[in-house]
Structure formats: C-alpha cells, structure tokens
C-alpha cells in the first residue's frame, strides 16, 4: 500500500470523513554550494522524490487535531489561541511553529484536522523538517484559499524553524521544497532569493548514499564555522563572504589565522564553483560538472574541514566508477551524513556493488542508497 493510500485510510478512520485536501512537499539534496547559504552566497539544490504528505479537512473552530503516522499514530490537539512549545511529541512543534507564524499574517485562521506521513530519511540531511513545514503552509493555503507565494511560504517555514522550533537554518531547504521543478536543479541566490532552474540530463540520476556515520559535532562545529566566516568578512571589510574574491582575501591573509583564511577560501571558491556548475549543466558539459564537484569535496575536506574519513572513502569509491561521466561530493552540513552523485543511470548498480564490497569492510558502517529524481515543489 502506498503511503498516500495509507494516509487517506488513517485520516478517514480517525476523523470519520475523507480528506478534502491532499498535499505533498519534497525533501531536497544540494548538488553543490556547501555552507555558502549563511554567507549570502549561491546554492544549487534539487527537490527529490522523498517528501511529506498531509491529508486534511478544515474545521469551524480554532482547534488543530493532528495524527502522525510515522510516530505510531500519535495524536495531538491544541488551540490556535494557546500555542506553546512542548517537550513530548516534539514533532508537533513544527505544526505549532507554522501555525504561530501563519497567525501573524492571518489572525482569524481556523483550525484543521490533519494526518501526516513522510519518507524523507531523518537525520540524513535531506530536509525532512523543511519538507514538513512547506507542506503545512501549503495545507493551510489550500484549505482556506490564502494568498501565499512559494517564496513567502519558504520564509514562513524558515521563520517557524528558527524562532519556534529553535533550529538555525538558511532559506535553501524551504525554498527548493516550495519551488523545485521536475527534472531540474535550482541555482538560488541566498541574498536576493532570485533563482533560476536548469535541466538535469535525462541520462543521469541523483544517487544519494548515506554513510550512516552519526553526525556528532555538527551543531557546535557549524556555529564555529559560521563565526569564522563572519570574522573573515569583518577583517576584509565586506558585509558577507559573498562580496569577497581571492584577490581581496590574499590582501588580508596576514591579518587572519590560518583556519579563518582557509574557511574564507572555501566559501569564495565554492560560490564560484556553484555558478560555474549551473552554467556547465546548462551547456551539457558533464566533464566540467565532474571536476567542479571533485574540487568542492576537496575544499570541504581540506579548507573547511567538515568531512570525515568514511565520507572521503565513499567519494573515492564512487569517483572511481563514475569518472568524468558524472560527479560526486559530500552534501550537507558535514561530519557524517550523505554523499551525492550525479551519475549515468547505467552506472548505478556498479556503484552500489563497489560501495557494498568495499565501504563496510574498511569503515564498519553499512551504507544506505537512495536513487532520486528531481521533483516539483509544493508551490511550483
């Protein structure tokens, strides 16, 4: 039984009627442009065929009644007039947070009955939370004919996560979930929120391999990287590293510690690579894509220092199979998580075999594979 069918059945069993609204919002993977988002830079994500589904009906009162299939059918009720952060059923904080930011725009909003399920692997860095937030905004928009654009929906999701759930995040995850296009990747300017899409080659798929290295350090190290980037920008006298180039960096090298210098060098070169990758894909230059993704990984490993040996080994194995016909790099915040490969469809089974034969033997970790296509966003 498909997740959507199961969702509809659970909804009907729980609420006694069929849902009037069915919503889906995708997760995402970032093909290149790592840690550039909070430096006002460029990112290059694609929405993927793993997402969050919501079935819903409107209510005449101000009550939210929500059942979560993925948490053993746990059910939560709360009033829109009394929204508080909770320590049990913490998944419901996403629902509460989205309701809270929507009420700032639409104070007379009514409640809803909803059932939720998803298949974005949690903790893999594929944006299960952003997918959930965007699906919730879309649900309210559909139930009550609210006038919300995709960009506005993304900003609302981000605000809910930053101010209510309490996670610091950039805008990329929500925006690609809202505005992704089928078969395409999106070049997003994180400063202006301007974006454009480019088709991915029909012959290629996005293969995500989860290293299953639990991401330790990621929060504390993320904050350190952020501070180092801000320090570098301050030393160079620019608003953000987006505004610096390698010549300016060289000019101020003496004023920086070596780690701060290398962090800045990663961001400056990564921004250049991200725009170059968009142009290379647009022109069908796959060998250039391969080189850019390889350079990105080396920069994350040596300059930004966010990879770990098992991840580096995964990239090495996949690169040996794909060569110049595709690209591979770590994706996400770092210290574990996933690698992403843009690979010819014909190489997928060969990659899986090579990884299964070699990765566990050296690292002790079992990999998980997700073969993905680029999908339509919830508001696109």
> Which segment of 1-10, 57-66, 149-158, 263-272 scores lowest on mean pLDDT?
1-10
How far apart are alpha carbons 286 and 89 in whole angstroms?
45
Q: How far is CA 368 from CA 65, 314, 340, in A?
A: 34, 12, 12
Model confidence pLDDT, tens digit, residues 310-368: 999 999 999 999 999 999 999 988 988 899 999 999 999 999 999 999 999 999 999 99
49 burial type by CB count under 10 A (0-12 exposed, 13-18 middle, 19+ buried): middle
The answer to whether the beta carbons of residues 15 and 57 sit under 8 Å apart is: yes
How far apart are alpha carbons 286 and 248 in whole angstroms?
31
Q: Is residue 162 part of a domain?
A: yes
CATH number, residue 118: 3.30.230.10
Please name which of 45, 373, 33 lies closest in space to residue 201, comparing C-alpha atoms: 373
Mean model confidence pLDDT for the chain: 96
Range of the domain at 152: 3-199
Q: What percent of the chain has pLDDT over 90?
A: 90
Q: Which residues touch 219 (CB under 8 Å, ≥6 apart)? A: none
Q: Is residue 262 part of a domain?
A: no
Indicate the number of domains in the chain: 1
61 part of the active site? no
Q: How far is CA 373 from CA 29, 46, 48, 181, 369, in A?
A: 10, 9, 6, 11, 13
Helix axes of 309-322 and 348-363: crossing angle, nearest 10 degrees: 150
Q: Is residue 252 part of a domain?
A: no
Catalytic residue among 37, 173, 303, 319: 173
Q: What share of the chain is helix, strand, coil (3-state, %, to 5)?
A: 50, 20, 30
Q: Is residue 283 part of a domain?
A: no
Q: Is residue 142 part of a domain?
A: yes
Q: Is residue 79 part of a domain?
A: yes
How far apart are alpha carbons 94 and 159 in whole angstroms?
11
In this prediction, residue 217 has a pLDDT band, given cuts at 50, 70 and 90, of low
- Residue appearing with tokens 């199979």: 321
Instruction: Say what the pLDDT of residue 218 is.
Output: 65
Using DSSP, state whether 49 is helix, strand or coil: strand
Using DSSP, state whether 22 is helix, strand or coil: strand
pLDDT at 216 over 70: no
Model confidence pLDDT, tens digit, residues 98-145: 999 999 999 999 999 999 999 987 777 787 899 999 999 999 999 999
In this prediction, residue 307 has a pLDDT band, given cuts at 50, 70 and 90, of very high
Token digits of residue 294: 């390889």
How far apart are alpha carbons 178 and 138 in whole angstroms?
9
Q: Is residue 36 part of a domain?
A: yes
Instruction: Say what the pLDDT of residue 215 is.
Output: 72
Instruction: Say what the pLDDT of residue 301 is.
Output: 98
Q: Is residue 84 part of a domain?
A: yes
């Amino acid at each position: 039984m498909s997740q959507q069918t199961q969702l509809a059945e659970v909804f009907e069993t729980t609420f006694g009627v069929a849902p009037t609204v069915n919503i889906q919002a995708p997760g995402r993977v970032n093909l290149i442009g790592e840690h550039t988002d909070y430096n006002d830079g460029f990112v290059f994500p694609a929405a993927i065929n793993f997402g969050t589904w919501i079935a819903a009906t409107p209510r005449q009162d101000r009550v939210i009644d929500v059942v979560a299939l993925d948490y053993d059918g746990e059910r939560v009720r709360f009033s829109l007039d009394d929204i508080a952060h909770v320590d049990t059923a913490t998944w419901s904080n996403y629902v509460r947070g989205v309701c809270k930011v929507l009420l700032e725009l639409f104070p007379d909003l009514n409640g809803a009955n909803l059932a939720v399920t998803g298949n974005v692997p949690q903790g893999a860095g594929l944006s299960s939370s952003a997918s959930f937030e965007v699906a919730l905004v879309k649900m309210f928009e559909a139930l009550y004919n609210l006038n919300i654009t995709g960009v506005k929906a993304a900003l609302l999701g981000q605000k809910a996560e930053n101010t209510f759930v309490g996670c610091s995040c950039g805008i990329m995850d929500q925006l690609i979930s809202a505005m992704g296009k089928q078969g395409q990747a999106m070049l997003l300017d994180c400063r202006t929120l301007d974006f454009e899409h480019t088709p991915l080659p029909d012959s290629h798929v996005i293969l995500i391999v989860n290293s299953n290295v639990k991401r330790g350090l990621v929060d504390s190290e993320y904050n350190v990287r952020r501070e180092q980037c801000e320090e570098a920008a301050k030393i160079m006298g620019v608003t953000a590293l987006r505004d610096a180039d390698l010549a300016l960096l060289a000019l101020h090298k003496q004023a920086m510690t070596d780690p701060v210098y290398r962090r800045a060098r990663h961001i400056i070169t990564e921004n250049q690579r991200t725009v170059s990758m968009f142009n290379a894909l647009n022109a069908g230059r796959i060998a250039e894509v391969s080189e850019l993704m390889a350079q990105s990984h080396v920069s994350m490993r040596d300059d930004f220092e966010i990879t770990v040996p098992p991840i580096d080994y995964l990239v090495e194995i996949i690169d040996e199979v794909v060569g110049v016909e595709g690209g591979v790099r770590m994706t996400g915040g770092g210290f574990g998580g996933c690698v992403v490969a843009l690979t010819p469809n014909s190489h997928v089974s060969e990659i899986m075999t090579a990884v299964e034969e070699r990765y566990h033997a050296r690292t002790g970790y079992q990999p998980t594979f997700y073969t993905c296509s680029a999908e339509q966003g919830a508001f696109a």
